[in-house]
Amino acid sequence: MFINEQSLISLNGMPQYVSIRAQKKDAPLLLYLHGGPGDAALPLVMKFNRGLEENFTVVVWEQRGAGKSYYRFEDGAVTMETFLQDLLSLTAILLERFRQNCLYLVGHSWGSVLGLTFTARHPELVKTYIGCGQVVNMKKSCRTACEYALAHADSKSLERLRTIDCTYTGDNWLSDLLFVTKQVVKHKGSLYGKTNYNKLITPFLFSGCYSLPDLLRRQKGSLQAIRHLWPELMETDFEGVTRFGTHVIFIEGRYDSHVSSELAREYFETIETKKQFFWFEKSCHFPQWSENDRFNRLLAEVLL
């Protein structure tokens, strides 16, 4: 291993945990943006995407308030713009340190909102953007998730689902959101072939980089981030953004009903600049982990 660093880096005044791993010198930078908001993923990337380290300097950032970067948010102090400014600061630090002009940026789910927004703003810093579980229009995506849950619900769940406003603006929006997500997962619309997330939990227990307190902080950070950021996230809509100053790739699970991959495909068709789209036929919302070997090979083949 040429480089294996796990450290806290100050981004806009807040210490945040960053992992940097590579097997060879001068490999191009690849920065991974996890989902959520607040859903730290370092052990998952280390387990399922270790093959990327053969060709890239892989950077995994645990965003402010998430996982090993957990701290308690104050009301109104954190917005999506806060994360975009953190991302800009981290990118500048990485490019200067490794003497590179731009990097590859992978965004998953919530991370795809940050990633595509950042790419539109700073195309000169992004050699290629790779979105998976790509968010396009959050209101439409939430509506399709509710429809999926309704279509697969048993009688007891159906009664509850019929009372839910999938715009998530009511007094019980958080409880409703978590219930719908649970139903999508239960009926195999989120993690391919699975009715729960156990496959994505066990790597945290055995990674060696996550302690029990870290696991507790990850749970608290995820719930906190949803509370603070979801209302703003619901306003996400890229449908009017069709031109990017750099290469854009979407990697989508064919059966993603968590964040609609059909919406991602429809949006992709409207993009007018350099682009590529790949369906992963045995994936839902997590193609990078459900078909990790193909994902790792594909990035090496397409990007290099």
Q: What value does the mean pLDDT of the chain take?
A: 97
Tell which residue, 176, 181, 179, 174, has the closest CA to residue 165.
176
Q: Is the pLDDT of residue 1 over 80?
A: no
**What pLDDT band is residue 207 in, cutting at 50, 70 and 90?**
confident
* 8 A C-beta contact, residue 70 and residue 216: no
Residues forming beta bridges with residue 275, ordered by sequence position: 248
Tell which residue, 112, 120, 151, 101, has the closest CA to residue 32.
112
Q: Is the pLDDT of residue 27 over 90?
A: yes
How confident is the model at residue 254, as a pLDDT?
A: 98
Return the SS3 of 169. Answer: coil
How confident is the model at residue 243, as a pLDDT?
A: 97
Domain count, the chain: 1
Tell which residue, 59, 56, 54, 23, has the closest CA to residue 42.
59
Give the mean pLDDT of 105-123: 98
pLDDT tens per residue across span 237-250: 999 999 999 999 99
pTM: 0.97
Tokens found for residue 163: 């009372």
- How are the residues of the chain apportioned to helix, strand and coil, as percentages rounded to the nearest 5? 45, 20, 35
Tokens found for residue 8: 């806290």
Residues forming beta bridges with residue 4, ordered by sequence position: 21
Side-chain half-sphere exposure of 50, counting CA atoms within 13 A: 9
How confident is the model at residue 77, as a pLDDT?
A: 87
Q: Is the pLDDT of residue 76 over 90?
A: no
CB neighbour list of residue 94: distance below 8 Å, 6 or more residues apart? 29, 31, 59, 100, 103
Which CATH number characterizes residue 162's domain?
3.40.50.1820
Q: Helices 173-186 and 138-152 sit at what angle, rounded to 10 degrees?
A: 60
My answer on whether omega of the bond before 37 falls inside 30° of 0, hence cis, is yes
Give the domain extent around 158.
Answer: 3-303
The string of DSSP codes covering 145-156 is: HHHHHHHH--HH
How confident is the model at residue 128, as a pLDDT?
A: 98
Give the mean pLDDT of 87-108: 98
CB neighbour list of residue 89: distance below 8 Å, 6 or more residues apart? 11, 12
Tell which residue, 69, 59, 65, has the closest CA to residue 106.
59
